[in-house]
Amino acid sequence: MAQTLASTPIAPPRWAQFYALTKPRVVRLIAFCALIGMLLAEPGLPDPARVAAATFGIWLVAGAAAAFNCLVEQHIDARMARTAWRPTARGELTRVQALLFSAALCTAGAAVLLLWTNALTLWLTLATFVGYAVIYTVVLKPATPQNIVIGGASGAMPPVLGWAAMRGEVGPEAIALFLIVFLWTPPHFWALALYRADEYRQSGLPMLPVTHGAAYTRLQVLLYTLVLFAATLLPFANGMSGWLYLAAAVALGAVFVAYAVMLWRDYSDRLARATFRYSILYLMLLFSALLIDHYLGPWLFA
């Protein structure tokens, strides 16, 4: 009896279960990219109150989309080791609880964006919610191995949302940021899908390594990484950044391309994991370099 009690897993507190539905690590990256868009939209430091409101509103709506994703993919998550811990997959939260939580976050986020940013940011953010939670999760993900490419458009929106929150418009600079994240998403996600292929096969989802094989997926990772490398030069080409960012983009991109080449030529799960981890670090460092260049570049190269 004592052994049975000791081996019974203890459910986390209810607040922690709801928090887990928001996919905190993913949403932090979304908020970071949105914040970069806000800071780059202004030549100097933007209004901190507006930045805080926009970041909070975008975080709330992104968390709502993540919770809705957990709700829709409850049974799929339960069949995959990577996601089986989620409260919806474990049955710790009901579908109604997850739906109400998602709706509450989305409503609160929309109110914050409408009251303290502008209508354009609100509608773009809600469109992003629909793109991820409905078009990607419900329609594309179970239907086509190109789900991550097409659905990646919603994941690439955070810098655009941040830019719109400050400027009230979407300029070519914001489109360049969008393109970088859009092209980054396939090699980032397919690196994960390569070493999780068996789990995706069991889940029934038509991910690229399952439908087209590992060799084809590795080639696609390499090709997208090369195109991504070219896209990261756009901020320098259109005058959005200077030499500091260019040097960082070339160095970071060269490492990413090297990972992709190694993955293509001599695959291992260990290398796929390392490529996936580096892809996250890559995006954070790339945008950080863009931000540093934005503020320090004119002073360093004056």
37-65 per-position pLDDT tens digit:
999 999 888 999 999 999 999 999 999 99
What was the pLDDT predicted at 3? 43
Same domain, 141 and 195: no
Domain's final residue, options 111, 140, 168: 168
Same domain, 163 and 18: yes
- Residue range 233-258: average pLDDT? 96
Same domain, 74 and 203: no
pLDDT band per the 50, 70, 90 thresholds, residue 243: very high
Same domain, 287 and 198: yes
Position 8 in a domain: no
Same domain, 149 and 35: yes
Position 240 in a domain: yes
Position 9 in a domain: no
Domain's final residue, options 137, 168, 199: 168
- Scored b (16 or more CB within 10 A) or e, 201-233 reads eebebbbbbbeeebeebbebbbebbbebbebbb
Position 103 in a domain: yes
What was the pLDDT predicted at 116? 96
Same domain, 20 and 164: yes
**Which domain covers residue 42, as residue numbers?**
14-168
**Res 196 pLDDT > 60:** yes
Same domain, 90 and 217: no
CATH number, residue 69: 1.10.357.140
Residue whose structure tokens are 């953010």: 125
pLDDT in tens, 152-189: 899 999 999 999 999 999 989 999 999 999 999 999 99
Same domain, 137 and 263: no
Per DSSP, the residues of 116-127 read: HS-HHHHHHHHH
Same domain, 41 and 161: yes
pLDDT in tens, 69-80: 999 988 888 888
Average pLDDT of the chain?
A: 91
pLDDT band per the 50, 70, 90 thresholds, residue 281: very high
Same domain, 66 and 199: no
Position 249 in a domain: yes
Domain's final residue, options 103, 136, 168: 168
Same domain, 189 and 209: yes
Position 4 in a domain: no
Q: Can you state the percent helix, strand and coil of the chain, rounding each to 5?
A: 80, 0, 20
Same domain, 20 and 137: yes
pLDDT in tens, 115-161: 999 999 999 999 999 999 888 888 888 888 888 888 889 999 999 99
Position 6 in a domain: no
Position 23 in a domain: yes
CATH number, residue 295: 1.20.120
Sign of CA dihedral 159, 165, 167, 168: positive
What was the pLDDT predicted at 302? 57
- CA–CA distance, 63 with 55 (Å, rounded to integer): 12
Number of domains making up the chain: 2
pLDDT band per the 50, 70, 90 thresholds, residue 217: very high
